[in-house]
């Protein structure tokens, strides 16, 4: 586990400063380095604080809100490589822990063990990122309860090896509650995490993200896309559109395209046509029409 005093000076500075004030320049430098732009500064501070104390962090938010980018940023900030688990109904003990395989030692056949992400992250003392944690079957993840609590230990069911996590090991998970195909996260599992709510980036910060990361460089159009995002989020909140419509990922795709093709067509391709219902597609295109005329 990374102790506070082992953190890079810049991060300690960040945490210290945030205790007193929300305005500090160290924070702004960190954003530029890492990639994720936190809608509120507390998100970054709190995630860093929790991880530096060895607590598991659960990033909770809608699709395309930057959860994966946030986890990558945290692993960069801590200078820790990250091993990934992508959850699905197919997730099983082998995809977490690893599997046995036949190999040759000279001409002698031997059984080898190929470590999985949990085994790797624990042994190397690095981060483990569990994406879409509520897509897994409810019975699968409790396998790693021991990894998630203070024991930080697991017996590998395939080798009987007892693995204890190395220094620096940390767990970040992501969840999109209410998304189709997900199951509510088991309470015992949820209990083992500190939860950080991840809202969509909006306003000036979103504008800056578009300017920094998309191919679009026209300010007027960028402003309209920021407005579009706000309108889409509002429509999703009101239940008029499926959640995917508000994804920042899709928004940035639309911005990229609109550097080359008319914005309305970009919005149709990157946002509207992904939605299931015609009514939703029309709704998005009506907003686009209002803004981009
Ligand atoms: N707050 C943010 N800061 C930086 N990039 C963001 C942010 N929100 C969304 N993005 C961008 O949107 C895309 C989707 O983000 P991602 O982390 O994959 O979302 P999620 O994992 O929540 O579905 C990424 O390419 C990222 O660049
Ligand atoms: Mg993701």
pLDDT over threshold 90, residue 290: yes
**pLDDT surpasses 60 at 139:** yes
Residue 144 DSSP code: G
Q: Is the CB of 37 under 6 A from ligand 1?
A: yes
pTM of this prediction? 0.87
| Mean pLDDT of the region 64-84 | 90
75 CA distance to ligand 2 middle (Å): 15
pLDDT digits (tens, 9 = 90+) for 173-230: 999 986 666 777 778 888 899 999 999 999 999 999 999 999 999 999 999 999 999 9
Residue 138: predicted pLDDT? 85
Task: Say if ligand 1 is within 6 A of residue 66 CB.
Answer: yes
Query: Quick count: other Cβ atoms within 10 Å of Cβ 217?
Result: 11
Query: What are 220-246's pLDDT values in tens digits?
Result: 999 999 999 999 999 999 999 999 999
Residue 265: CB atoms within 10 A of its CB come to 15
> In the prediction, which pLDDT does 5 show?
65
Question: Which secondary structure element, helix H or strand E, spans residue 54, and what is its range?
Answer: none
CB 35 within 8 A of CB 133: no
The H helix count followed by the E strand count for the chain is 13, 9
Radius of gyration of the chain (CA): 22
Q: Is 63 in the pocket of ligand 1 (CB under 6 A)?
A: yes
Residue located nearest, by CA, to atom 15 of ligand 1: 66
Residue of the nearest CA to atom 7 in ligand 1?
Answer: 66
Q: In the prediction, which pLDDT does 24 show?
A: 43
pLDDT at residue 56 is higher than 80: yes
pLDDT in tens, 6-48: 666 766 766 665 444 444 444 445 555 448 989 988 898 899 9
Position 185 scores a pLDDT of: 78
Buried b (16+ CB within 10 A) or exposed e, 44-53: bbbbbbbbbe
């Amino acid at each position: 586990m990374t102790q506070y005093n082992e953190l890079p000076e810049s991060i300690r500075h960040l945490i210290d400063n945030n205790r007193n004030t929300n305005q500090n320049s160290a924070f702004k430098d960190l954003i530029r380095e890492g990639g994720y732009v936190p809608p509120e500064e507390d998100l970054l501070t709190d995630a860093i604080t929790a991880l530096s104390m060895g607590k598991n962090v659960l990033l909770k938010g809608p699709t395309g809100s930057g959860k994966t980018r946030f986890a990558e940023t945290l692993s960069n900030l801590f200078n820790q490589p990250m091993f990934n688990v992508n959850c699905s109904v197919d997730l099983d003990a082998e995809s977490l822990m690893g599997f046995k395989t036949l190999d040759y030692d000279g001409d002698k056949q031997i059984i080898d063990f190929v470590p999985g992400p949990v085994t790797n992250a624990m042994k190397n003392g690095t981060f483990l990122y569990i994406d879409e944690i509520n897509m897994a079957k409810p019975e699968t993840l409790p396998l790693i309860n021991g990894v998630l609590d203070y024991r930080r230990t697991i017996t590998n069911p395939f080798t009987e090896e007892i693995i204890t996590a190395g220094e620096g090991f940390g767990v970040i998970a992501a969840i999109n509650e209410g998304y189709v195909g997900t199951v509510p996260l088991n309470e015992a599992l949820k209990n083992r995490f500190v939860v950080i709510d991840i809202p969509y980036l909006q306003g000036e910060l979103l504008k800056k993200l578009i300017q920094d990361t998309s191919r679009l460089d026209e300010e007027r159009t960028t402003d309209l896309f920021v407005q579009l995002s706000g309108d889409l989020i509002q429509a999703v909140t009101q239940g008029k559109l499926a959640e995917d419509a508000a994804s920042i990922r899709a928004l940035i795709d639309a911005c990229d395209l609109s550097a080359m093709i008319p914005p309305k067509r970009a919005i149709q391709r990157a946002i509207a046509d992904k939605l299931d219902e015609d009514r939703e597609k029309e709704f998005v295109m009506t907003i686009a029409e209002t803004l981009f005329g």
